Chains A and B, each alone.
Chain A
């Protein structure tokens, strides 16, 4: 299994002011007991254009729900969600590229077909979509695996295919839900490095949900810490180091170390 990934060539550039604004968002679900399950209880977030916001929080704090709200897959019960100043769900969906926690590759499509899926859904003819996806597979270190079926790929390879699928349509906002959670630490490290480089070369507005504080600090401009359910933003941290960051520097830098302490402290309480 190849672990080396190379930064992709220039892709269609995102448009100007694609910020994400989440104001006072409430979201509750019908719980199993009479009371509703409140996932988010008044969340305020802002992600500037081409900014990377890391979102950390304990399990079940509504991080995934938050992403789906931004992505236009759900509507808030209270408050508002805007992407590039647009609030209709359809508009949000068109601007956001959503990468869920599981790779959700279709077993009946080969790797190339899976990578091309989102493009095809947008109306791009199959042949063209596949040829747009092919160079990306190469660059992600999956050259030679175009015709492989998901069952034949390792977890890390599948996650990479899912990533390609997310990136190919070239949407300005990336919503990543724990994209590296299922990878082993070696692959995770190299994928983080690749993403850091990719975002430096090819800036996008990114909401990165992760349970790994280190990862958030490595990749994000700012980190928002969510409380346990019902979720609220309890802390926002600014990461002063410019991107892309050197791994060793990120780990040893005292300012970052303090931020890490702070975040863990908040999470622990």
Chain B
């Protein structure tokens, strides 16, 4: 319980600063909505906000799922084949540098309007931290462990299963934590390329229609989503990697 105290205090401080800033005469309320106005928007637009949040959440979760499958597969494949790693690593890095603005229309061309492009964009943004971290985790296994497994006569698969994959789990969760945090903004970018629903779309239209409190309410929801996902990943890690925790407290 006590661990929540510093974060709560900081949050209250932040809210106070926000409210103060919004009250300044030089800051007009089209640019910055006050916490009270945002709270009002939650009341007035509740259904609108929640319905759109649900849509974006689905995009985020599905996109993350795809990125996990892709990310882990890439990492294992690159770990097993040096040639593949040398060939694909530069391309994977390059994929992160291409602006979404350029990619979005291409995805629309490939997947048509609908969920497709959004999932593609979320997956594109999220797979990379997972791939890099899992690969690093797999490669971080000590030579001595691999030697030992060889002395047992273990097959490649057995070594992967019993040593390399469990060793890489903490790294996987590191990558997943990053991915979960950026997945939300990925969904927003995807929606900006053309969407009929979703918080990203709501925020964009709200901005154009000068509905500032709604825009900020949408932003708050997106933030909460990211924080919730991050926390979920951390919980998952605690459940699946208990040995990590014990090591630290021992």
Chain A: interface residue total (CB-CB under 8 A) = 24
Q: How far is the CB of B242 from chain A (nearest CB, A)?
A: 8
With contacts A104-B144, A104-B145, A107-B243 taken as known, whether A151 is within 8 angstroms of B152 at the C-beta atoms is: no
**Is A151 within 8 A of B247, CB to CB?**
yes
Chain A residues with CB under 8 A of B144: 100, 102, 104
**Is A121 within 8 A of B250, CB to CB?**
no
Contact among A71, A102, A107, A152 with B151 in the assembled complex (CB-CB below 8 Å): A71
State whether the Cβ of B148 lies closer than 8 Å to any Cβ in chain A.
Answer: yes
Q: How many A-B Cβ pairs are below 8 Å?
A: 57
A97, A108, A120, A149 — most chain B CB neighbours (10 Å): A108
Chain B residues with CB under 8 A of A120: 158, 162
Q: How far is the CB of B151 from chain A (nearest CB, A)?
A: 4
Q: Which residue of A lies closest to B163 (CB)?
A: A106
With contacts A93-B153, A118-B152, A151-B247 taken as known, whether A100 is within 8 angstroms of B166 at the C-beta atoms is: no
State whether the Cβ of A98 lies closer than 8 Å to any Cβ in chain B.
Answer: yes
**Is A107 within 8 A of B247, CB to CB?**
yes
State whether the Cβ of A156 lies closer than 8 Å to any Cβ in chain B.
Answer: no
**Is B162 within 8 A of A121, CB to CB?**
yes
Chain A residues with CB under 8 A of B142: 104
State whether the Cβ of B147 lies closer than 8 Å to any Cβ in chain A.
Answer: yes
Contact with A along B12-55 (1 / 0, CB 8 A): 00000000000000000000000000000000000000000000
CA distance A94 to B153 in the complex (A): 7
Chain B residues with CB under 8 A of A20: none
State whether the Cβ of A76 lies closer than 8 Å to any Cβ in chain B.
Answer: no
State whether the Cβ of A193 lies closer than 8 Å to any Cβ in chain B.
Answer: no
**Is B153 within 8 A of A121, CB to CB?**
yes
State whether the Cβ of B80 lies closer than 8 Å to any Cβ in chain A.
Answer: no
Q: How far is the CB of B215 from chain A (nearest CB, A)?
A: 46
Q: How far is the CB of B157 from chain A (nearest CB, A)?
A: 11
Chain A residues with CB under 8 A of B166: 106, 108
Chain B residues with CB under 8 A of A96: 151
**Is A73 within 8 A of B243, CB to CB?**
no
Which A residues from 139 to 190 make CB contacts under 8 A with B?
149, 151-152, 169
Chain A residues with CB under 8 A of B241: 108
**Is A151 within 8 A of B246, CB to CB?**
yes
**Is B152 within 8 A of A108, CB to CB?**
no
State whether the Cβ of A224 lies closer than 8 Å to any Cβ in chain B.
Answer: no
State whether the Cβ of B154 lies closer than 8 Å to any Cβ in chain A.
Answer: yes
Q: Which residue of B lies closest to A97 (CB)?
A: B151
The interface of chain B, by Cβ under 8 A from chain A, is: 142, 144-145, 147-155, 158, 162-163, 166, 169, 241-244, 246-247, 250
Contact with B along A87-122 (1 / 0, CB 8 A): 000000110111010101011100000000110111
Q: How far is the CB of B150 from chain A (nearest CB, A)?
A: 6
Q: How far is the CB of B11 from chain A (nearest CB, A)?
A: 35
Chain B residues with CB under 8 A of A152: 246, 250
CA distance A122 to B152 in the complex (A): 7
CA distance A104 to B107 in the complex (A): 48
With contacts A100-B144, A106-B166, A151-B250 taken as known, whether A121 is within 8 angstroms of B158 at the C-beta atoms is: yes
Q: How far is the CB of B146 from chain A (nearest CB, A)?
A: 10
- Given A100-B144, A106-B145, A149-B242, 20 more A-B residue pairs with CB atoms under 8 Å apart are A73-B151, A93-B151, A94-B153, A96-B151, A98-B151, A104-B145, A107-B244, A107-B247, A108-B169, A108-B241, A118-B152, A121-B153, A121-B154, A121-B155, A121-B158, A122-B152, A122-B153, A149-B243, A151-B250, A152-B250
Chain B residues with CB under 8 A of A121: 149, 152-155, 158, 162
CA distance A151 to B243 in the complex (A): 8
Q: Which residue of A lies closest to B152 (CB)?
A: A121
Q: Which residue of A lies closest to B250 (CB)?
A: A151
Q: List 19 A-B contacts (CB under 8 A).
A: A72-B151, A94-B153, A98-B148, A100-B147, A102-B144, A104-B145, A104-B148, A106-B166, A107-B244, A107-B247, A117-B152, A121-B153, A121-B154, A121-B155, A121-B158, A121-B162, A122-B153, A151-B243, A151-B246
Chain B residues with CB under 8 A of A108: 166, 169, 241, 243
**Is A117 within 8 A of B162, CB to CB?**
yes
Q: How far is the CB of B36 from chain A (nearest CB, A)?
A: 50
Q: Which residue of B lies closest to A102 (CB)?
A: B144
Q: How far is the CB of A118 from chain B (nearest CB, A)?
A: 4
CA distance A18 to B97 in the complex (A): 61
A71, A96, A102, A107 — most chain B CB neighbours (10 Å): A107
A94, A100, A151 — most chain B CB neighbours (10 Å): A151
